[in-house]
Amino acid sequence: MLPDAEPQPLERSLLELEGRVRALEHTVAALGDTRQIEERITERVAAQANKVSVASVVEAFSTKPLPPAAKGLVAVATQPYTLRQVAQSSWLAFDMVQEIVTIGRMLLDRHYHTAWITRFLVIVFAIAIFSSGLWVPLSSVPGIEKLVNLLLGGVLFLALFCEARRYKAWRASANPQAGGLP
C-alpha cells in the first residue's frame, strides 16, 4: 500500500483541533497580559480626545516619567472645555449667579413651557414667604420668621434649580450646534 499524500480524515481532524487549541492557548495567554489591553484603550481615548501637550509639563515636575495611560488621562483633563467647565463652576457664588441667569432666561423664554408643579410651587412658596409674619408661630421670637423664610426660599430655589436643569436640557436638544445655552 502506498502512503497517501494526504493524511487520513481522523489525523487531519486531530491536526486541525491541535491548531485550534494552540491558537486558544495563545489568546488566553495574551489576556493575562493586561498591559496590551490598557495600551489599546489608552490609544483609543487619546485618539478621540483633542491632544494637549501638558503631559511634558507634568513629567517635568514629577520624579518619574508618566506611563502612557497617565499621559492620556492628563491630556483629556487639560482640554480647554474641561478647564473652562472647572473655571466656571469652581465657586458657589458663580454657580448661584449662573443659575439665577438661567432661571431669568427660562422665565423670559416664550418658547419654553414651565412645568405646572414648578409654577404651583413658585406661587405657593412666594405667598408663604411674604405672609410668613402672619402664620409663623412664635413670630415674636427674633430669628424664627427669618429661619422659616430661609427654609421656604431653599425649597423654592430647589424647585427652580430642577426646572432650570430641565430648561438647559431642552435648550441643548432644541439647538444642538450651539451646545446648549447661548
pLDDT tens-digit profile, the chain (182 residues): 455 556 688 888 888 889 998 998 888 877 777 777 777 777 777 765 544 455 555 555 555 666 666 666 666 565 655 556 655 555 767 777 888 888 888 888 888 888 888 889 889 999 988 888 787 776 667 778 888 889 999 888 888 888 888 898 888 887 765 554 54
- pTM (global) more than 0.75: no
Return the pLDDT at 99.
Answer: 83
Q: How far is CA 8 from the centre of its chain?
A: 61
pLDDT recorded at residue 132: 81
Q: How far is CA 122 from CA 126, 152, 176, in A?
A: 6, 10, 29
Give the pLDDT of residue 52.
45
Cα 16–chain centre separation: 49
User: CB of 138 within 8 A of CB of 144?
Assistant: yes
Q: Where are the domains of the chain?
A: 14-83, 91-178
Report how far residue 7's alpha carbon sits from residue 18's, in angstroms, rounded to the nearest whole number: 15
The residue among 158, 175, 159 whose CA lies nearest residue 109 is 175
Residue 120, C-alpha cell as written in the block = 404651583
Coil, strand or helix: which one is 102?
helix
Q: Are 45 and 37 in contact (CB under 8 A)?
A: no
Distance CA 101, CA 14 (A): 74
Amino acid sitting at position 125: F
